[in-house]
Amino acid sequence: MVLTERATDPVAGRPRTFLEAYLPLRQDGVLYAVLEMEVPADLLTNVQWRLRDVVLSLLAGGLFLLWIVLYALVRSAARTIEGQQAGLAEANRLLRQRFEDMVTLIIAAVDAKDSYTFGHSLRVAAISRLIGREMNLAKEDLDTLELGALLHDVGKIGVREAVLRKPTRLNALEILEMRRHPAIGMALLDGVRSLPPGVRQIVGHHHERPDGRGYPAGLRGREIPLLARIVAVADCYDALRSERPYRRPVSAEEAWAELRRHAGSQFDEEVVAAVIRAAPLIESSLYLEEPVFASCGVEEEESGEAPNDSRSAGSGRHRK
């Protein structure tokens, strides 16, 4: 190949550079002819630009098609993930529903042993949540508090019905048996790994007292988990406001006075203040009648004698 320049192109009428190519034609080593080709160099340049434009167009088109394919894949993956998330949410809902059904069944089994406390755990759970809201607990803590309150008396499954239903004062042995129900409850929940730790703490420590006279561990003050302190107050509130075979329920005002009287000794002061603030909503939601005075606690049964202060939180016959 050679480049040649002619003075004047007979077609264009101006000097142009040509690319000349010579192709020898041979057969059996004998040269028969030479094929000569001439192509204007500027025409090749135009072809290169056109080829470049074609290549760029093809590249742009390919990238656009690739984007469409990738977008379709992403959308398909997103729909698949959304479907999986919806399925997972539904599975979680069903699992939670079955768990709640099991909790309800357990509560019903406890209530069945003592007809006079029927619905007690549900009311304690409602009161506990209202107290927790009044104390600005986080939602996760509120959920744990409510579940723990629902199960707080689960250990009574291990207490004889004769003790639970006894209409008169418990003797010393019966008091000891009744006092075992927090430990029984904790033992029952030991194998349930899905429960938050706070639930077990509520079940095991809702009979502790700030003055250290509670059970089973004799914890004092802030040694008692907060959620257990809340359930202790809610438990007593419902005991005061509910009917028992040995007494009628107390009025709302008398229940408030009883809790205030024993704040700091039997009950946490902050929790008592919170339940008093929440009391109007508690009363409108759970209680309708205005009864006469009685009290909650187990001191009378524990000692076998009535305490000096007949209006003490431990002077009633309610067995907790």
Tell me the HSE value of 39 on the side-chain side, using a 13 A CA sphere.
Answer: 11
Q: Are 125 and 150 in contact (CB under 8 A)?
A: yes
Question: Residue 139 to residues 129, 144, 285: CA-CA distances in angstroms?
Answer: 10, 9, 21
Q: Which of 139, 156, 166, 320 is catalytic?
A: 156
Do 232 and 208 contact (CB within 8 A), yes or no?
yes
- Confirm if 118 and 111 have CB atoms less than 8 A apart: yes
Amino acid at 317: R
Q: Is 156 labeled as catalytic in the residue annotation? A: yes
Q: What are phi and psi of 213, to 5 degrees?
A: -95, 10
Cross-strand bridge partners of residue 293: none
Torsion of CA 79, 82, 87, 89, to 10 degrees: -170
Q: Which amino acid is at 224?
A: I
Q: Judge whether 286 and 129 are in contact, CB under 8 Å.
A: no
Q: How far apart are CA 282 and CA 123, in angstroms?
A: 9
Residue 132, amino acid: G
Contact 18, 5 (CB under 8 A): yes
Sequence letter at residue 211: D
Angle between helices 197-205 and 226-241 (to 10 degrees): 50
Q: Provide the token pair at 45.
A: 């340049």
Active site residues: 156
